[in-house]
Structure 1
Amino acid sequence: MPASHRLLLLVLALGSVLLTALAAHHGFFWDAVLQASRHAQWYYDTRFTHLLVPEALDAGHPTLFAAALAGVWRLFGQTLPAGHWAMLPLVLGTLWQVYCLVRRFVPRAWVGPAVLLLWLDATWLTQSTLVSSDVALLFCYLLALNGLTARRPVLTLAGSLPLVLLSTRGMILWAALALTAALLGWLDENPLRAPHGRFSAAARLLGRRIWPLLPALLLAGLWLGLHYQLRGWVGYNARSQWSGNYALLGPLGILRNVALIGWRLLDQGRLLLWLSGAAALLALWRGGWRPGPTTWRLLVLWLAPALALSGAMVWYANPIGHRYYLPVLLLFALLVAHLLSELPARGLARMLTGVALLGLLSGHFWVYPDHMANGWDATLAHWPYYRLRHRFIDWLDARRIPLADVGSNFPNLYPLHQVDLNGDPRRFAPVDLRRNRYVLQSNTMNFGDAVLDSLQQRWPLLHEERVGQVYFRLYQRPSDGP
């Protein structure tokens, strides 16, 4: 490994250590409250005497991550820093997997810029500071992918086995790995060119590529079968509080999801990454360049998870978050890095790389107005949320206003202990303008347009604080009703 590569990895690793230290006392955020804290709390309290979480908490996902977090608490204490520092090995492991993947596909001189294009993605940097199963998902996926591309089946096995037990999205990503393996085998040997025995050759080739993934498929099947045996359902439960997320959409809803996925790929500064890649491709094409084996392989690596994830999610009402596409986001950045490295004009390549990097860094400032959805768990712009939330709780306590009298909304509806691990069972009330005496609203919370309009137009503003791009507002019920 060249000294410049070692220095870059050291700097990025130290940066991750610093981010972890700064975030060590941040509470659980967004979906991590359920899939990490609440599930882990169950395993911790019951001392692992139950395999499945209670049905009221069961969204259909495997719970390996939550069980592991509960184990961390048993070893090091049930504190926020224990969980955050336990994530650091996964973050650093992901850094190494990114480096190994980049080194395999771009020239040595371009490894540094390529690693930065992947590592500085706003969604990834933000997730790396959360106690989130998506960090484990990305690490396992890249580990298995490195095994496929390097033809090291042990790595593929080691990555795919835990992948399918992290969440149902891990199972979808298993399908992406299988599709990747099949398409890479096709590109490498193309058995259909053989004049005889083409189908048997294709079957043998597919088997050689995919066999390291089969134990994970068996493991996923065992878990799904056991879940069905114990609960009577897998994936979808019509009686659960999340059943609405699995409602099938009509044509317009599907088109909306397709557009939303497209925006997720462009959001948070990635628009400039796409434009840089398009400019590089145009310059290369005009110069007579045509895609070679490396380009096609990288296209496969990117398209396989994009198709698998989109094909599984586009039909349903479940909101599609930026973090769902983490492997897709990073692998597209790798494809762009490859195109930039192919440019013969070094000045143009450096300029486009700089534009792309500036775009990625700007992603933490892409915050939309109140009536537009923001991916707060995918941008470091959400960090003031933790400080402001504690300030407002202290403000309410100082005035002896019970939290039960204050309406709020996701992600601020869970018991305080499940967010902060502080032993406090109190919680805010769900927002109901006919019942709440007060409403605590923030641009980081999921308030519907009608409720937001009513608060801003009719409810007196009692207290407001803003830090960075995050604000918190406490409204008091008007004397003449909602």
Structure 2
Amino acid sequence: MKLRNINLRAIYKGLILFIISLFVVSLSLKTGMFWDNVLFGSEMGNPLFQNGIFKWNSIPLNSDAGHPPFLATLLATGWTLFGKSLTTSHLIMFPFVFGLLWQLSCFVDFFVKEKTLKIWAFILVISDPTLLSQFVLVNPEIIQLFFFFLALNAILRNNIYLKIIGLAFLGIVTYRGMMLCGGIFIIDVLIHTLIKKRKIITFFSKRVFLTYSIAAIPACLYLIWRIINKGWIISHPLEIWGNAWEFSSIQDFLINFGRNILVLGHQFTDFGRIILTLFILITFYIKRKQIDWKKYNYLLVIAIFSTIVIYFTSLLIKNTMGHRYYITSYLSLGLLSFLLIKEYRMKKFVYIGLLASLLLGNLVVYSDSFAQGWDSSLAHLPYWELRKKGIEYMDENELPIKETASFFPNSTSIDNIDLNGDMRSFIKFTGKEKFVFYSNVYNLSDYNLEILDKDYSTIKSYTKRNVRVQLMKRNSNSSQDE
């Protein structure tokens, strides 16, 4: 009878999560390819769609990010079977959206035992703005988050087979997936030594060695293939995205290192997470004498060390990594904050405050001169409607798209974003173009913003919830004409 009840609960939970996943994907069908996903999805997927799903050598050098073409291969497969479209692409994400929600519910179940509290903890965890944004985009993040939590839950429950499967797939989604595998290994070691109080020598058993060796095979095979066929792994030969290690001096490196620390701190507290962060820090301080630290050791280890390889790398390179790279840490901190609520009397009030801070974080929009992680909250959602209106206006007024400048991630073909077969392409902005298609979601440099302000005038503007799309025309007396 007990086993039957467990099976029924699993079925009910699966059905609810299935409905949630279907709802999320159905609301996302008109959301185009955005930011790096234009590269990981469209630009890498199109050659595979045209030349053969597994013909990875057909990816042109200027579209080759070096990462395993996991998402591109999935998309090319779906496009081949069901036709190339945004709808097909989002439906391909559905199993991973459902799988991640299931794994997150299992993650919560490990730490929260009361049935009702599990639901509220789950809601708080999945309300992280950066996670919510990934749910509505076609991207590799949801895929690798699914495999990460599959492997992590396997460690928490001592399931060696799911651990191998999770790690094996996690390592071939992106290079960052490989970094997350490193985080999983460190977590595994620390749980064994710091939490379970066992000697480190006993961790390195034959079983553990075989587990990680087998799990590493797919990633190793890809790296070998890449070296043989491409001759490079990470540093792009054309330096299209710049040189991450290009420093003029030790002083330049140290200044950049200090700046990266500030950026990292901002990312962990951005989009409402500052309330959760302060809540955790303040609670640990004022309740330090009464807290049973053993209850929180697991989540502290997971939150700190899951992305440790990523943020150490991010601190050292010239261009820091994005908000979404640390989602596993955000979610662990979210669950940790929920567990800490029990240390207070006004539990409902505290919970509502934490949840509201995350949900309201999706409304945060900075000034045009402040680089925002637009793919890391739901603030970008109005952009898709406004972008469509802008393109329709251009067509109605016969403004040539192929002569109109735009900015990353819109300085590409319409097809690369909308997957609709429209091969007309915006061109990269130089300041000499007659027309410009601009939005504040493009994160322009101060230099380009100054040129637009001085040399261009707005001929049509669309605004919704602090997101803008502007069609601009160069002034006849602009400095660029001189």
Determine if contact 2:74/2:92 at 8 Å carries over to the other structure.
no
Indicate the residue corresponding to 1:24 in structure 2. Answer: 29
Greater displacement, 382-391 / 132-141:
382-391
Equivalent position SS for 2:243? helix
Pair 1:459-2:456 in alignment = yes
Q: CA deviation at 1:283?
A: 4.8
Indicate the residue corresponding to 2:246 in structure 1. Answer: 247
Q: What is the alpha-carbon distance in structure 1 between the residues aligned to residue 273 and residue 209 of structure 2?
A: 32
Q: What is the alpha-carbon distance in structure 1 between the residues aligned to residue 352 and residue 10 of structure 2?
A: 19
Pair 1:201-2:202 in alignment = yes
Q: What is the alpha-carbon distance in structure 2 between the residues aligned to residue 118 and residue 9 of structure 1?
A: 18
Pair 1:177-2:184 in alignment = yes
Q: What is the alpha-carbon distance in structure 2 between the residues aligned to residue 153 and residue 201 of structure 1?
A: 16
Indicate the residue corresponding to 2:86 in structure 1. Answer: 80
Greater displacement, 102-111 / 171-180:
102-111
Equivalent position SS for 1:180? helix
Q: CA deviation at 1:7?
A: 7.5
Q: What is the alpha-carbon distance in structure 2 between the residues aligned to residue 89 and residue 149 of structure 1?
A: 23
Greater displacement, 270-279 / 77-86:
270-279
Q: CA deviation at 1:357?
A: 0.3
Determine if contact 1:106/1:337 at 8 Å carries over to the other structure.
no
Q: CA deviation at 1:208?
A: 4.4
Determine if contact 1:273/1:357 at 8 Å carries over to the other structure.
no
Equivalent position SS for 1:179? helix
What is the aligned length? 468
Indicate the residue corresponding to 1:358 in structure 2. Answer: 356
Determine if contact 1:236/1:246 at 8 Å carries over to the other structure.
no
Equivalent position SS for 2:459? strand
Q: CA deviation at 1:442?
A: 0.9
Residues 469 and 364 of structure 1: CA distance in aligned 2, closer, same or farther (over 3 Å): same
Q: What is the alpha-carbon distance in structure 1 between the residues aligned to residue 201 and residue 395 of structure 2?
A: 72
Pair 1:40-2:42 in alignment = no
Residues 454 and 56 of structure 1: CA distance in aligned 2, closer, same or farther (over 3 Å): closer
Determine if contact 1:163/1:171 at 8 Å carries over to the other structure.
yes
1:317-336 deviation per Cα after TM superposition (whole angstroms, max 9, x unaligned) = 23421111111111111222
Indicate the residue corresponding to 2:62 in structure 1. Answer: 56
Residues 67 and 49 of structure 1: CA distance in aligned 2, closer, same or farther (over 3 Å): closer
Pair 1:134-2:138 in alignment = no
What TM-score does the superposition give when structure 1 sets the normalisation length?
A: 0.91
Structure 1 gaps of 5+ residues are 193-198
Residues 396 and 368 of structure 1: CA distance in aligned 2, closer, same or farther (over 3 Å): same
From 265, 268, 292, the equivalent of 1:265 is 268
Residues 6 and 226 of structure 1: CA distance in aligned 2, closer, same or farther (over 3 Å): closer
Letter in 1 for 2:264: I
Indicate the residue corresponding to 1:111 in structure 2. Answer: 118
Indicate the residue corresponding to 2:298 in structure 1. Answer: 297
Q: What is the alpha-carbon distance in structure 1 between the residues aligned to residue 351 and residue 8 of structure 2?
A: 22
Indicate the residue corresponding to 1:97 in structure 2. Answer: 103
Q: CA deviation at 1:258?
A: 1.5
Equivalent position SS for 1:236? coil
Indicate the residue corresponding to 1:231 in structure 2. Answer: 230
What TM-score does the superposition give when structure 2 sets the normalisation length?
A: 0.91
1:389-413 deviation per Cα after TM superposition (whole angstroms, max 9, x unaligned) = 1211121122222112211101111
Indicate the residue corresponding to 2:3 in structure 1. Answer: none
Letter in 1 for 2:77: G
Indicate the residue corresponding to 1:145 in structure 2. Answer: 152
Greater displacement, 455-464 / 422-431:
455-464
Indicate the residue corresponding to 2:127 in structure 1. Answer: 120
Indicate the residue corresponding to 1:196 in structure 2. Answer: none
Determine if contact 1:245/1:319 at 8 Å carries over to the other structure.
no
Structure 2 gaps of 5+ residues are 1-5
Q: RMSD of the alignment, in Å?
A: 2.2
Q: What is the alpha-carbon distance in structure 2 between the residues aligned to residue 188 and residue 256 of structure 1?
A: 34
Residues 25 and 263 of structure 1: CA distance in aligned 2, closer, same or farther (over 3 Å): same
Q: What is the alpha-carbon distance in structure 2 between the residues aligned to residue 303 and residue 376 of structure 1?
A: 24
Indicate the residue corresponding to 2:19 in structure 1. Answer: 14
- Residue identity (%): 28
Equivalent position SS for 1:285? coil
Residues 201 and 390 of structure 1: CA distance in aligned 2, closer, same or farther (over 3 Å): closer
Q: CA deviation at 1:282?
A: 3.8
